[in-house]
Amino acid sequence: MKTPKRPRLITKPQRFGAAWYRGDHYREKQPYLTLAAHAREHNEFREVIDSALTYAAPNSRKTSVLEIGPGDAPIAENISFRERIYIDQAQGLLNEIKTRREKYETARERVTGIKRVRPRVYVQGKLEQLPIRSRVGTIIMNEVLTHIKPNERLRVIQRLVPQTDGFVIVDRPQLPIEKLREIHRAIAGRGTFEHELRKLQATYVRFKPIIAYIRNSGFDTQVSLVSIDETQYVVFAARRKKPLQEK
């Protein structure tokens, strides 16, 4: 009887990669470097993200935020919210950001003598079976759509629109095959097969139908572009013209 092969654990950040086509790529305790963590030292990215959050949640201190797939560096921490909800399928990452936050709050209380803790909820779950049923003020998806099959991305947005008054979505915009071939050659130092490029292209997000749907659902929108290490990202923000009451 053959011994089953153990799933391969990614030991360093993958420039191109999405869970849905890499099989066991997204595993518990995977040392996966998120865009937010990678960009901590990039002031331009921080400024664009803060602008998007302020646009999507102008009254953030009075509303809640749901960040889907926060990884190890949730961007919902960039500005104040009444309540933060984090959902990730990796319990290890949730434990990490929870522990880090608790240490920070303890240290601040020791120095200032003031205990100011805004509620934070950590939920393990998948986007396909979103466990949060109540409405939230803002939904953040930072490099989440790339982990969803292309033909399912718009359906995910359609399901989330009735649950929120604002969006912040960050991801890499879809590029032509020739541009991807040029990028891949520069990084890998070699050419690649057409089917590999098609698979790679599918990890990039086609924003046009997503933006159109959200606009047609009664939202004002803001779109920014930012480059990090020669990789371009779309930072999309939206806020409902007539906010709904949170439940």
Tell me the C-alpha distance between 143 and 34, whole Å. Answer: 8
Pairwise CA distance, residues 146 & 141, whole Å: 10
Q: Closest Cα partner for 127 from 150, 159, 95, 97?
A: 159
Contact indicator for 141, 210 with CB cutoff of 8 Å: no
* Radius of gyration over every alpha carbon of the chain, rounded to an integer in angstroms: 19
**Per-residue model confidence as pLDDT tens digits over 177-231:** 777 777 767 666 565 667 777 777 788 899 999 999 999 999 999 999 988 777 7
Q: Which of 165, 86, 72 is nearest to 118 (CA)?
A: 86
With a pLDDT cut of 90, the percent of the chain lying above it is 36
Neighbours of 116 (CB within 10 A): 8
In this prediction, residue 132 has a pLDDT band, given cuts at 50, 70 and 90, of: low
CA distances from 163 to 17, 65, 135, 155, 247 (A): 29, 11, 5, 14, 10
Higher pLDDT, 27 or 64: 64
Q: What is the pTM of this model?
A: 0.79
For 158, the enclosing helix (H) or strand (E) is: helix 150-160
Distance CA 93, CA 71 (A): 6
